[in-house]
Amino acid sequence: MTINELQDEIIEEFEAFDDWVERYQLLVEYGKELKNNPMPEADKTDTNKIDGCQSTVWITSRYENGILYFQGDADALLVQGIVALLLHVLSAHTPQEILTSELYFIDRIGLREHLSPTRSNGVAAMLKQIKLFALAYNR
């Protein structure tokens, strides 16, 4: 699936809920998906830590056959959900696809307006790091 198709899928899933309590619960469910592919404890280092996040967040990348894969984790349930959403959309794509993508799902599902300013800054920091990984592998 393309990045835009994945974003549209998430938007549709979130639009099924009118109540933000239910949407937060959906975010927590996404976060639980990180446990299906857990980040090794050895990767939870300061080097992989995302600066600018209120919670502790780690993201790593792996480049294989022209495709960039991400793995991540966080120490808070809601933030795990945000990490999982970002990785769901951006992992398993070429660096060029990641660099040229416009991530509109964050605004369309209303996430940005329902996050505290520090959490919004954290999302921006995660996206910046993912784009930096893509930039490093863009050939």
Q: 3-class SS at 75?
A: coil
Exactly one of 53, 74, 87, 89 is catalytic; name it.
53
d(CA 136, CA 115): 30
CB 94 within 8 A of CB 66: yes
Please say if 53 is a catalytic residue.
yes
Number of helices followed by number of strands (H, E) in the chain: 6, 2
Q: Which residues are catalytic?
A: 53
